[in-house]
Amino acid sequence: MLRDEDVFEYHEKPRPGKLEVVTSKPCLTQRDLSMAYTPGVAKPCLAIEKDPDAAYHYTGKGNLVGVVSNGTAVLGLGDIGALASKPVMEGKGVLFKRFADVDVFDIELNTHDPDEIIRVVKALEPTFGGINLEDIKAPECFYIEETLKQSMNIPVFHDDQHGTAIISSAALINALELVHKRIEDVKVVFCGAGAAGIACAEMYVRMGVRREHVTFVDTVGVIYEGRTEKMNPYKQRFAQKTKLRTLEEAMKGADVFVGVSAKDLVTPAMLKSMAKDPVVFAMANPDPEITYELAVETRPDVIIATGRSDYPNQVNNVLGFPFIFRGALDVRASAINEEMKIAAAKALAALAKQDVPDPVLKAYGLKSLKFGREYLIPKPFDHRVLLWEAPAVAEAAMRTGVARRPLPDLDRYRESLERIMGPSREVMRFVFHKAQSQLQRRIVMPEGEDETVIRAARQIVDQRIASPVLLGRREVIEPKLREVGLDLGGVEVVTPAVAPSFQAFADELYALRQRKGMTPSLARELMADPTMFALMMVRKGEVDGFVGGMYKPYPDTIRPALQIVGLRDGVTRVSALHLLVLKHGLFFCADTMINIEPTADELAEIAILSADTARFFDVEPKVAMLAFSSFGSVRHPIAERGAQAVRLVGARRPDIVIDGEMHLDTAVVEEIVQANYPHSRIKGDANVLVFPALAAGNIGYKLVQRLGGAEAVGPILMGMRRPVNVLAHGTTVADIVNLTAITAVAAETFGKAAPKGRAPQPELVGSGGVAR
């Protein structure tokens, strides 16, 4: 329950309101000022005068929406006036920016005259790429929107009408599928004939509901032919030739109830009178026409959706307007037409049938969520809505001829949207493309019975990243695979204890470690451990790589990996790297997990492996050897060790740009280098950061991740003979998918995929690794 004082503090502190204007260009020097304003700004002004479309290149018009209201129908508060509506309009701006990176100016108009609203909004057309009308009462809202759509060449969208219609249409599609009813057969009762109710009904009709099967009930009663009280042309469209006069009468035998009215209007008796498997959308805010608890108690066969977040199936407009405008703006649509709205609804309905990612489950405190009676539509915080809905809207705009800048490639467009979800998505998309374009690699996952791993396997198969090999009991894994919709042909399940290769693997382990305390019986006991079995599969070339260890301490996976798989030729120690993704760039940080106090020679090796890893991500490495000293400013063995490592890398790999030792700010701030270290090969542009010790590396990357807002990819294990990557505790589906993609692409350097031929056998591990 929200406390009043918390709400007021949220809106007031640390600065009043919820929006601010942030510059997208620097204004730090006189030159910047001259370009931002006079005299430089004259150039784009003249270009726009000559070609109005140039405004989309030189101004923010193409990503700017005006949220316009006169405050006459604010939430459940009614006509509270333009000024009092401002917190709602600012909140709308927050949602536009948070979910779809659309910029907003909120405009509150102090007038009840619909023609005056039309004149003002029309005059603002040069400013905006689109107009979102909000909280304007019916029937004026219909007239305002219709007039503006006819007279303006940018999208105009009244969210109170169409947002609810689109989201509830998605819920209706899936609800009818679950109860096996055809949309053209169902009878629908609407309670509430305002903006949302009329718009929902019109959209349902376009989706396939027959107009004669729609019965409206408002504050007067059933809307029937010949009624004159409180009627308008929009209600008249749904006037039926009927003897029904009350909501209670209308509900008898109805298949679907749609409420956009007031709380507690639906009684248990009304619900009992509905047809088998009734669908109830009780969307009155903040309290529904019938509560979820009372509905399911009264009719166990009911499917119910409400506008509340504490009940299943929340019909929340935030699932619509940010993404609809995103798609419309990106193709410079001249309107948001009915086909675009239907495309949005169908995209949402389809997304609800996909596996739900971990961040969504965590956001709602859930362990699992699957398509069904209590999950008809995606949750508002499902980041995938952007990638499904915006492209569907853009495609519909192009198909129907309202797109003024058609997109040449929708797949490329989806990829471009991933930047809004976080920069690491763009980075990993590059790796995914590599994995998808090569022969599918077989990647073994020892924790194959874990639900997180199984859900990750579903995504790995769906995205054609690799062929997962799950270790565990078949009778446990196979039902879970079916639950996430993965047929058994998509993955391989291996139970170590009964695998044909079990004894051969145990014999191999005994041969490897017989002079280090291993006995035949101990080898068989150890080989029953899925991690050991999986690593032996990698060694013997039966799979191309390993991703696992999520339940073990990190050293307990690294140690057997070194013993069984071994190090690459020429490498003396395994090391680990984390890729930190910030808005302004990528940083490869090492060693973050393994080597406590590396020597100069080991630091050099870590730097070389890290540089090669950067090139794996198609990044040209600029390596900074970090310390608490810059180029001898402090005489200390740690600093001298870093400087010696730089010399060693220079001798071994002259192709790598490296310098140091240096402070972190010297590595990443150009002005410091120019002023103090003009001789440095690193000019403040370092992207590979090699830390002098594990304490610095581990704390450093976590500090930037947790306090600096960076996204971390990893740990990526470096130096193994074949790809081995270890999962951290608390790993998510996305973490597993990312590391699997990295592992699969890394396997490309080890020759043919496992099914095509055995990989070269690794040599026994020498001294110097953490396993010793």
Query: DSSP readout, 311-360?
Result: SSSB--GGGTHHHHHHHHHHTTBS---HHHHHHHHHHHHHHTTSPPPHHH
Annotated catalytic residue, options 13, 86, 92, 263: 92
Distances (CA, A) of 362 to 171, 320, 454: 23, 22, 18
* Residue 79 and residue 121 in contact, taking contact as beta carbons nearer than 8 Å: no
* Residue 309 and residue 297 in contact, taking contact as beta carbons nearer than 8 Å: no
Q: Is 601 exposed, middle or buried (0-12, 13-18, 19+ CB in 10 A)?
A: middle
Task: Provide the 3-class DSSP secondary structure of residue 170.
Answer: helix
Annotated catalytic residue, options 18, 25, 37, 234: 37
Query: DSSP readout, 660-696?
Result: EEE-HHHHH-HHHHHHH-TT-S--S---EEE-SSHHH
Q: What is the 3-state secondary structure (H, E, C) of 475-504?
A: HHHHHHHHHCCCCCCCCEEECHHHCCCHHH
DSSP 653: -
Dist. CA 553–CA 314, nearest whole Å? 40
* Residue 743 and residue 723 in contact, taking contact as beta carbons nearer than 8 Å: yes
Distances (CA, A) of 4 to 8, 308, 378: 6, 19, 29
For the question of residue 752 being annotated catalytic, the response is no
The CA dihedral of 270, 272, 274, 278, to the nearest 10 degrees, is 120
Please provide the distance, in angstroms rounded to a whole number, between the alpha carbons at the two ends of the chain. Answer: 56
Give the type of residue at 681. Answer: R
Task: Provide the 3-class DSSP secondary structure of residue 216.
Answer: strand
Sheet strands side by side (includes 492-494): 492-494, 467-471, 442-445, 545-548, 724-726
For the question of residue 230 being annotated catalytic, the response is no
* Residue 719 and residue 568 in contact, taking contact as beta carbons nearer than 8 Å: yes
Could you list the active site residues? Answer: 37, 92
